[in-house]
Structure 1
Amino acid sequence: MLDRLDHALRSRPDRPAVLTASRTGTPRVRARCGELAGLADAYAAALHARGLRPGDTVGVAVRPGPRALALLLALWRLGLRGAVLDPGAGPDVLRARLALARPSLVVADAAAQAVAGWARPLARRARLALPDLAGLGGPVATVGPWLPGCAPSLDLRAPRPAGPAGRGAAVAGDADAVIVFTSGTTSKPRAVVHTRAGLAAGMETVSTLFAQAGEQAGSAGPRHDGRPVLGGTFFVLVPALTRGAPVALPARSPRVLARQLHRLKPADTYLTPPQLRDALRADARFHGRVWTGSAPAGAELLGRVRDAGAERAWGVYALTELFPAAAVEAAEKAAYDGPGDLVGAPLPGVAAKTDEDGQLLLAGPAARHRYLGEEPDPWVRTGDRARLDGTGRIVLEGRTKDMVLRRAENIYPGLYEPSLHVPGVELAVLVGVPAAGAAEAAGDERLVAVVQPRHGAAVPELRASLADPLRRMGSARPDAVLFAEVPLSGRSRKPDRAAAAALAASRLGAAR
């Protein structure tokens, strides 16, 4: 698909490729197809001129946008391995990740490098904080506008190499393509390694998923009417641009995002659940198909998106190790009334099973090849408890590490949390807090529901609406219900269970 993308960019150089939004939501052309192709050529020539060859690792600390996409295309063409360095991870974590990946070169934009002088406030405002890369012993190059204190710019005037190197390296499909860091402590980071074949398979799956959803909605397949796609992830950018649709990067401000949706009327929108909730609070209206993932998305949220104008709303179950794995449409999810969180049938090519502990295992062409420094394993251990229903659909029952122990009973929050999302509830999690007295000494916990009301919802009415779902939880009924804002963390703004547990412990302790 990346080869087809390169051809698509060169075939219509004047077509808009990447859009951004003004404060009024008016679309602005950030890059055209020909500009993207030219930038990828220049990056490839510059990297080749620095002596980088197939198999070498390049650290990428560039924020999502045209430069990041062009750089990844250049790495693909040269057969280089890209190590994605999240500038928001913090200096200590990034030092550990750099030590594990050992890149031959780190390519970063100026804001990600702003570690000293007047540029430091810029990095703070952008919530970026790379360590002083130049002090870690490896070479660093800057892309984009240069700022004082940054490493020298990547030389975009380097001549394009002749012969096979100029057309792209001949690299086998089992060669490494990208390293993505997913978890692990500062002292022991963990990195997912995808091969070129696996990365290509994941993008083909996304393209097929878009096409099949279009057919189910009554269209003839992937849309080629020029309507844009709204989304910022690599797995959205590449399939959309390949089929000729411009991609709009979502605005950060919910109000601007709502205006952006109104003006663009995108054919497909991909936003995380927190972005969807923020947009709904800003009275956004949706158009076309809406997709969401990277954090749990309940039937209630997908239903609100449909009510706000979307033709269809899909929840996508995906992991860093396998993107995407399963998908479920709002109507199917709303019709499910069993315990747990229905995330849909495995997508074509994805195999699913559970181990003896009930943990979900996944495999398929798009699955990661291995973790960096470890042996390959065809099965991805998801860390999710799950079961497969009678039709083979995946029903999640909670993260294995989130288990709460109460009176010798193991309670998995994900099995019960979906039932708490009644109308008027924005977000809800179940967490364990230490029990008091002898129970605490035995390691028992109290189970607490932390419920975040939707803006304008009245707590007394919510208590009444929750009465029946709480009753049906049986022995897993929480010991207390706390109405408060659920803490979020990380770039995808998932519920922070540790912070929610600390909040619950503090509030309940004060109440006692």
Structure 2
Amino acid sequence: MLDRLDHALRSRPERPALLTATRTGAARVRATRGELAELSDAFAAALHARGLRAGDTVGVAVRPGPRALAVLLALWRLGLRGAVLDPGAGPDVLRARLALARPSLVLADAAAQAVAGWARPLARRAGLALPDLAELGPVATVGPRLPGCAPALDLAASRAGVPVHGDHDGDAVIVFTSGTTSRPRAVVHTRSSLAAGMATVASLFDAVPDQPVLGGTFFVLVPSLTCGAPVALPARDPRVLARQLHRLRPRDTYLTPPGLRDALDAGARFHGRVWTGSAPADAALLERVRGAGAARAWGVYALTELFPAAAVEAREKSAFEGPGDLVGTPLPGVLARTDAAGQLLLSGAAARQRYLGEEPDPWVRTGDRARLDGTGRIVLEGRCKDMVLRRAENIYPGLYEPALHVPGVELAVLVGVPAGDGDERLVAVVQPGRGANEHGLRSALSGPLHRMGTARPDALLFARIPLSGRSRKPDRAATSAMAAQRLGPTV
């Protein structure tokens, strides 16, 4: 599909490709299709001139936008492997990841380098521990160069003799996931698995030429632009995002669940289809999106190792009455089964080939407990590692958390809090929605809590749930620590 995208950008070079929003929500062209193709050519020539050849690894620390997309297109053209780096992950994590990936060159914009190096005095005053720029290895600046940045990538390099890698399969991208500083873990997608994932997304989105799509992820950008649809990057300010949605009226919108909640709280109205993933999305949130104008609202179950894996529409999710979290039927080409411990295993053409430094494995161990219902739909029962052990009973939060999302509840999790004797207390932490009354919520939750039987929580706590990571998933460790502090040594 990236080959098709390259051709598509050149066939209609004058048309808008990436849009941003003004403060009023009006669309502003960030880059045309021709400008993206031109920038990609310049990056490819510059990397080839530096002696990089197919199979080499290039670290990428560039904010999402035209440059990041053009860099990835250039890497694809040359057969280079891109390692996605987060300079804000902390010095120890970054060092370990660089040692594992061993990039020949790191491409970084000024913002990434500020985090990693020349803004170190400011970072110290903010209490942040960050690495020196030199620890990144050979670095070239992409975009505007500020004082203290590495030398700029030479975009005036000759384009003569720059090769096109062709259809040969090989590593395409490295994405770091869980792991420790002593043993970082990185997902390796090949050119074929990356292409298969994007083809699946294209079949879901079904983008239409010249009809805008709103979303900022790579898996939204590539299929949409390939089909000729301009992509609007979501405004960060929820109020601006609400105005952007009103004025743009996108046919398809992709936002994370926290992004949807922020937009809804800002009064956003939706149009067409809305898709959400990267973090849990309950039926109540999807129905709120439909109530705000969306024709259909979909929850997408996806992992870094396999994107996307399954999808479920709001009405189907709302109609589900069994225990656990229905995430839908596996998408075409995705195989699903569970192991002896109840862990969900996935496989398919879009699955990662391996973890860096490990042998290939066709089955992705998701870390999610799940079951397949009578029609083959995936029902999650919680994270394997999130199990709470209380009085010798294994309790899996994912089985019961969906029942806590009564009207007025924005987010809810079950966490274990150490009891001081090796046991754990089970605490329900509920984040009320805007304007919700805690007394009314407590009454509304009494039924669902009672139906949990032996898994009934020891305590119910109303609080804002900490989020973590780029996808802003609930941070269970931080929530558990907060609950322990709020509740004290006894319940």
> Which category describes the TM-score, using the shorter chain as reference length?
over 0.9
The yes-or-no answer on 1:307 pairing with 2:291 is yes
Shift of 1:139: 1.1
Residue in structure 2 matched with residue 205 of structure 1 by the alignment: 200
Find the residue that maps to 1:297 and give its secondary structure.
Answer: coil
Return the alpha-carbon distance in structure 2 between the equivalents of residues 42 and 142 of structure 1.
14
Cα 1:284–1:120, aligned 2, differ >3 Å: closer, same or farther? farther
Find the residue that maps to 1:5 and give its secondary structure.
Answer: helix
Which amino acid counterpart does residue 159 of structure 2 have in structure 1?
Answer: R
One of 465, 471, 475 as aligned partner of 1:496:
475
Residue in structure 2 matched with residue 243 of structure 1 by the alignment: 227
CA distances 1:126-179 after superposition (whole Å, capped 9, x unpaired): x9996333345x3110010000000000000001132xx44x123522x10000
Is the Cα–Cα contact under 8 Å of residues 59 and 103 in structure 1 kept in the other structure?
yes
Return the alpha-carbon distance in structure 2 between the equivalents of residues 392 and 266 of structure 1.
32
Which amino acid counterpart does residue 396 of structure 2 have in structure 1?
Answer: Y
One of 246, 253, 256 as aligned partner of 1:272:
256
5+ residue gaps, structure 1, are 212-221
Which amino acid counterpart does residue 209 of structure 1 have in structure 2?
Answer: L
Residue in structure 1 matched with residue 383 of structure 2 by the alignment: 399
Residue in structure 2 matched with residue 3 of structure 1 by the alignment: 3
Which amino acid counterpart does residue 141 of structure 1 have in structure 2?
Answer: A
Shift of 1:288: 1.0
Residue in structure 2 matched with residue 148 of structure 1 by the alignment: 147
Return the alpha-carbon distance in structure 2 between the equivalents of residues 407 and 370 of structure 1.
38
Which amino acid counterpart does residue 194 of structure 1 have in structure 2?
Answer: H
One of 434, 441, 447 as aligned partner of 2:426:
447
Q: How many residues align?
A: 490
Shift of 1:23: 1.5
Find the residue that maps to 2:160 and give its secondary structure.
Answer: coil
CA distances 1:24-58 after superposition (whole Å, capped 9, x unpaired): 21111110000000000000000000000000000
Cα 1:109–1:489, aligned 2, differ >3 Å: closer, same or farther? same
Cα 1:232–1:124, aligned 2, differ >3 Å: closer, same or farther? farther
Is the Cα–Cα contact under 8 Å of residues 362 and 379 in structure 1 kept in the other structure?
yes
One of 160, 165, 170 as aligned partner of 2:166:
170
The yes-or-no answer on 1:347 pairing with 2:347 is no
Cα 1:38–1:298, aligned 2, differ >3 Å: closer, same or farther? same
Return the alpha-carbon distance in structure 2 between the equivalents of residues 371 and 340 of structure 1.
29
Is the Cα–Cα contact under 8 Å of residues 120 and 130 in structure 2 kept in the other structure?
no
CA distances 1:287-317 after superposition (whole Å, capped 9, x unpaired): 1110000000000000000000111000000
Which amino acid counterpart does residue 79 of structure 2 have in structure 1?
Answer: G
- 1:29-178, aligned counterparts within 5 Å? 29-114=29-114, 115=116, 131-136=131-136, 138-162=137-161, 165-166=162-163, 168-170=164-166, 172-173=168-169, 175-178=170-173
Find the residue that maps to 1:337 and give its secondary structure.
Answer: coil
Is the Cα–Cα contact under 8 Å of residues 61 and 87 in structure 1 kept in the other structure?
yes
The yes-or-no answer on 1:329 pairing with 2:328 is no
- The normalised TM-score by structure 2 is 0.97
Return the alpha-carbon distance in structure 2 between the equivalents of residues 123 and 232 of structure 1.
31
Is the Cα–Cα contact under 8 Å of residues 117 and 130 in structure 2 kept in the other structure?
no
Which amino acid counterpart does residue 99 of structure 1 have in structure 2?
Answer: A
Residue in structure 2 matched with residue 223 of structure 1 by the alignment: 208
Residue in structure 2 matched with residue 218 of structure 1 by the alignment: none
Find the residue that maps to 2:89 and give its secondary structure.
Answer: coil
Cα 1:130–1:34, aligned 2, differ >3 Å: closer, same or farther? farther
Find the residue that maps to 2:427 and give its secondary structure.
Answer: strand
One of 183, 187, 191 as aligned partner of 1:188:
183
Which amino acid counterpart does residue 145 of structure 1 have in structure 2?
Answer: P
Residue in structure 1 matched with residue 461 of structure 2 by the alignment: 482
Cα 1:471–1:352, aligned 2, differ >3 Å: closer, same or farther? same
Find the residue that maps to 1:313 and give its secondary structure.
Answer: strand
The yes-or-no answer on 1:285 pairing with 2:269 is yes
- 1:362-441, aligned counterparts within 5 Å? 362-435=346-419, 440-441=420-421
One of 456, 460, 465 as aligned partner of 2:444:
465
Is the Cα–Cα contact under 8 Å of residues 87 and 128 in structure 1 kept in the other structure?
no
Find the residue that maps to 1:88 and give its secondary structure.
Answer: helix
Find the residue that maps to 2:150 and give its secondary structure.
Answer: coil
- The normalised TM-score by structure 1 is 0.93
CA distances 1:244-265 after superposition (whole Å, capped 9, x unpaired): 1111111111111111111111
Which amino acid counterpart does residue 219 of structure 2 have in structure 1?
Answer: F
Return the alpha-carbon distance in structure 2 between the equivalents of residues 308 and 511 of structure 1.
43
Cα 1:361–1:434, aligned 2, differ >3 Å: closer, same or farther? same
5+ residue gaps, structure 2, are none
Which amino acid counterpart does residue 170 of structure 1 have in structure 2?
Answer: G
Shift of 1:96: 1.1
Return the alpha-carbon distance in structure 1 between the equivalents of residues 119 and 309 of structure 2.
44
Is the Cα–Cα contact under 8 Å of residues 370 and 378 in structure 2 kept in the other structure?
yes
Which amino acid counterpart does residue 142 of structure 2 have in structure 1?
Answer: V
Cα 1:434–1:122, aligned 2, differ >3 Å: closer, same or farther? closer
Cα 1:94–1:119, aligned 2, differ >3 Å: closer, same or farther? closer
**Percent of pairs with identical residues:** 79
Return the alpha-carbon distance in structure 2 between the equivalents of residues 145 and 364 of structure 1.
41
Find the residue that maps to 1:428 and give its secondary structure.
Answer: strand
Which amino acid counterpart does residue 486 of structure 1 have in structure 2?
Answer: I
Is the Cα–Cα contact under 8 Å of residues 123 and 129 in structure 2 kept in the other structure?
no
Which amino acid counterpart does residue 183 of structure 1 have in structure 2?
Answer: S
Is the Cα–Cα contact under 8 Å of residues 123 and 130 in structure 2 kept in the other structure?
no
Return the alpha-carbon distance in structure 2 between the equivalents of residues 323 and 276 of structure 1.
20
Shift of 1:240: 0.4
Shift of 1:511: 7.6
Which amino acid counterpart does residue 502 of structure 1 have in structure 2?
Answer: A
